[in-house]
Structure 1
Amino acid sequence: MLLSKNLKHLRTSQNLTQAELSEKLGVQRTMISAYEDGRSEPKLTALTVMAELFNVSMDELLYHDIEEKGRKAVQNKATKILTIAVDADDRESITMVGQKASAGYLNGFADPEYMESLPQFRLPNLASNQTYRAFEIAGDSMLPLVPGTLIVGGYVEQLKDIKSGKTYILVTATEGVVYKRVFNYLAENGKLFLVSDNEHYKPYEIKGEDIMEVWEAKAFISTDFPNPKDRNNPMTIEDLSKMILDLKSEIIKMKVDKQ
């Protein structure tokens, strides 16, 4: 059983002292020390409070090495229940989130009044069984798509459904709204690896628990026409395989640097 190790890791990661945790659990501080040393085991009521406090399942708390393997529960985390807009015929519309609206979206995506204030439109040839949202991208990190391009994304309900190598709009608590090529390492370390198609930008990691919404890129709208070279030279399977190998090498290097 990994309770003692997990408890100490979760407590310190949230900057809680043993005294502060003992107050939340309603036990003596010396009991927290005993739990973390493995000299005593908490009662079921205390375990339940721990699981709720640290937002983990009981199984994860007791039997999963959270420090070494990362969060397990986040793999099956449903991102959220969506607030959607419909037209007069009760048909779901695509809500557009412009660059200037991105900051407000982080605070208002669950507010029906805010969502209704954003522009709405419809597009043909999109599957009718999915919710879509359009985000205007900024910067040149995803060339050849230029700043101002609208990325139309289909809603992804669970983080585990993110497919490595595909592009996604991620609404995050730490990075805001970003459009990146994503590699899914949630099962290994509880993180996603975000890569720009423009090689001048370095890839970086983001914790699964910091993801608020995920939208898989389905279409884009732009007033800038792609260069013929871009259309004739799409990313191949070989290119993607090489990218994955390079990314794994980069992740290993990052882990070594942290040690």
Structure 2
Amino acid sequence: MNFLSENLKFLRQSHQMTQQELAEKIGLKKSHIGAYEEGRATPKISAIQQIAVLFRLTLDQLIGVDLRNNYTGNVTAKETLKILSIMVNTQNEELITIVPVKASAGYLNGFADPEYLGKLAAFNMPVPELSPGKTYRVFQITGDSMLPVQPGSYVFCEFVESVADLKEGHPYVLITKDEGLVYKRVYARGARQFLLKSDNTVYDPYVVDGENVIEIWKADGVLSFNLPQPSHLEISRLSDLLTEMKEEIRQLREG
């Protein structure tokens, strides 16, 4: 069943909004809201996403649940992360948004704001490793805690809708209230805590509370412009050692 039109009208009235006020909040015209509530038109997926974010609902709840009998102000399941805004092209195809280092601080406040995301670069990458129908985002990381992944690398990530989908020990980008963007290997510690580990053993593991985590993104790949350099000194030293060994063998044979 599709309850989108009924839910939209019910949610708007429950929050004492006019059609004009709702339209302004999600960047549409008042006539669009009227058409959606009356079932004369269907909003684009980007608009549905914005509505879900505004009322703190999942897409399934907004579309498939009759909220007139179930709404309590926030029916988002505790183990489900927040629905986030996305960018689409003119063909209504979802784009991959890039969050560079200089924008990571603002992302914490603007992650659910379509206007903020619209200012970030977004692109489409038709490669088989990125599955259609999933939401991806690229985060640029800093620091050396996840070496050999170099500082400044871009991590291609897939949005995690539920904590139950976490893979133990896999690297993830977490958006947290206290630290902002964090790239670590994640281990579940009960239902409400995560143990975060760095690949660089210089850094100690630490625990964060689930309530402190806003978004979780599963790392799928890395793009880096820091090309590895040959270890000239090590190669030279190895050559010297081989020369010394040959000389010692020669002397032993002559002796």
* RMSD of Structure 2 on Structure 1 (CA): 2.1
Aligned to 2:134: 130
How far 1:186 sits from its partner (Å)?
Answer: 2.8
Q: How does 1:133-212 map to 2 (within 5 A)?
A: 133-187=137-191, 190-212=192-214
Q: How does 1:5-84 map to 2 (within 5 A)?
A: 76-84=78-86
1:68-111 superposed Cα distances (whole Å, 9 cap, x missing partner): xxxxxx99521101100011221111000011101100001111
In 1, the alpha carbon distance for the partners of 2:210 and 2:150 equals: 27
How far 1:227 sits from its partner (Å)?
Answer: 7.7
In 2, the alpha carbon distance for the partners of 1:87 and 1:226 equals: 36
Distance 1:75 1:165, change over 3 A: farther
**Per residue, is there more helix in 1 or in 2?**
1
Aligned to 1:110: 112
Q: TM-score, normalised by structure 1?
A: 0.56
| 8 Å contact from structure 1 (residues 95, 121) kept in 2 | yes
In 2, the alpha carbon distance for the partners of 1:85 and 1:115 equals: 7
How far 1:116 sits from its partner (Å)?
Answer: 0.6
Structure 1 stretches of 4+ moved >3 Å:
225-228
In 1, the alpha carbon distance for the partners of 2:88 and 2:229 equals: 36
Q: Which secondary structure state, in structure 1, belongs to the residue aligned with residue 106 of structure 2? A: helix
> Percent same amino acid at aligned positions?
46
Aligned to 2:89: 87
In 1, the alpha carbon distance for the partners of 2:178 and 2:77 equals: 19
Q: Which secondary structure state, in structure 2, belongs to the residue aligned with residue 143 of structure 1? A: coil
Aligned residues: 154
The aligned amino acid for 2:135 is T
* Unaligned 5+ runs, structure 1: 1-73, 229-259
In 2, the alpha carbon distance for the partners of 1:94 and 1:109 equals: 14
1:121 paired to 2:106? no
In 2, the alpha carbon distance for the partners of 1:146 and 1:138 equals: 8
How far 1:222 sits from its partner (Å)?
Answer: 0.9
Structure having greater relative contact order (Cα 8 Å, sep ≥ 6): 1
Distance 1:91 1:182, change over 3 A: same
The aligned amino acid for 1:167 is P
In 2, the alpha carbon distance for the partners of 1:75 and 1:195 equals: 27
In 2, the alpha carbon distance for the partners of 1:194 and 1:99 equals: 21
* Unaligned 5+ runs, structure 2: 1-75, 231-255
The aligned amino acid for 2:93 is R
In 1, the alpha carbon distance for the partners of 2:228 and 2:79 equals: 37
The aligned amino acid for 1:220 is V
Q: TM-score, normalised by structure 2?
A: 0.57
